[in-house]
Amino acid sequence: MDSIFFYRPPEAAVPADGPLKGMNIAIQPNVSAAGWPTDAGSNALARFVALEDATVVERLRQAGASICGSTRMSEFGFGLDGSRAGEAIKRNAAHAELVLDLMGESRLAASAGDVCGFKPSYGLVSRFGLIGLIPSMECYGILSDSLKNIREILKAIAGPDERDFSLPDETTPDFSPQNIDRGKTTVGIIKEAPGSLPARQESLYRAAIETLGDAGLTVKELSLPDFPLFLPVHKIVGAVEASSCTGRYDSVRYGVRVPGAKNWNEMYLSSRGAAFGPLLKSYLFQGTFFQFERYDAYEDACRIRARLVAGMRRLAAQADFWAIPVERGGPDAPASLADTYAQFALTAYANVAGLPALYLPPAQGRPHPGVQLSGPRLSDARLLALGEHLLNARRGGNA
């Protein structure tokens, strides 16, 4: 079982009393826990040990949770190649797991593990102590087989943090349990979203949509012609941010240092060449190209991003939530850049627009891959309530 873990503490501290008492939560090795190895899955951070707790770790422990270990992850959380996200839950080694979500990783990992996966609204949870890659799109995803666990975890970690200056000055939503009035709740189906799905997968998606109607919700077709632009915007803007973000890794204080360099500049260049794996290197080269050779394309992508965000706001006036297809994740994650992006074509929208997104696994015996639900920014509490309503409708019990 330990092969799923990158690090497990020799003995856990006695948890404090609190609402998360008795809950074991796994993190990834890009989340700082004081004294724990924290390499973010990359040679660029080899031998780095966290100096202090990330805000989320601090708050989880204050709420009574036990941080039971860090699971193996892809390099800097980009894609799922080499990731073991979700397996700690599947093997009953943890009740929940925090997974970096850059373009949908937590939702596809949830799909692979047949558990629930939730990506909160951008700016809701502090990123202090998180070793990230794409600052304007990344956030913690939460995996668990219980939506109640996800809601209680989010309740504990969300909110202002004076150490994270990127957090907007906003009122934190109330995550107390709430009811969904199914007769007055509309779920929109964005007709352009399934455009990249093969015919068989689209039919499975339609089968998943039928379960929404079975639960008494109103299903309504919506249109956002620009929806296919979410992925190219992520490719350009995300790559530029990643290229800039990784410029700090120079092998001076930590990381792999290639021997034999004759001067500082040669050491820097050769060591950076050894610091990153092929997939991440491809991504960083792409970002460098747009940053220095085609900056006009980057500016265009930023403008289109603003247009996409405005488009999703318009859809929010037509439906309470949206149901968007999701491809089923699996253990054989693609290692090429093109294939990786193809895998996340239907999940990247939430990161580009900063929206909350929830993956619900299918009911036992259902052939479809589950459904991805989303809503306006900061509708996290209501989105979780919708998920609980749907799970209760199928299980006849607690979600």
Structure tokens at 71: 């699971």
Report the percent of the chain where pLDDT is more than 90.
70
DSSP string of 365-394, one letter each residue: T--S--EEEE-STT-HHHHHHHHHHHHHHH
pLDDT tens for residues 8-22? 998 766 777 899 999
- Residue spans per domain, the chain: 228-299
Is there a contact between 53 and 86 (Cβ–Cβ < 8 Å)? no
% of the chain with per-residue pLDDT over 70: 94
φ, ψ of residue 306 to 5 degrees: the values are -60, -40
- 223-246: pLDDT as tens digits: 999 999 999 999 999 999 999 999
Q: What is the pLDDT of residues 250-278, one digit of tens each?
A: 888 788 888 888 887 888 888 888 889 99
How far apart (Å, rounded) are the C-alpha atoms in residues 123 and 377? 10
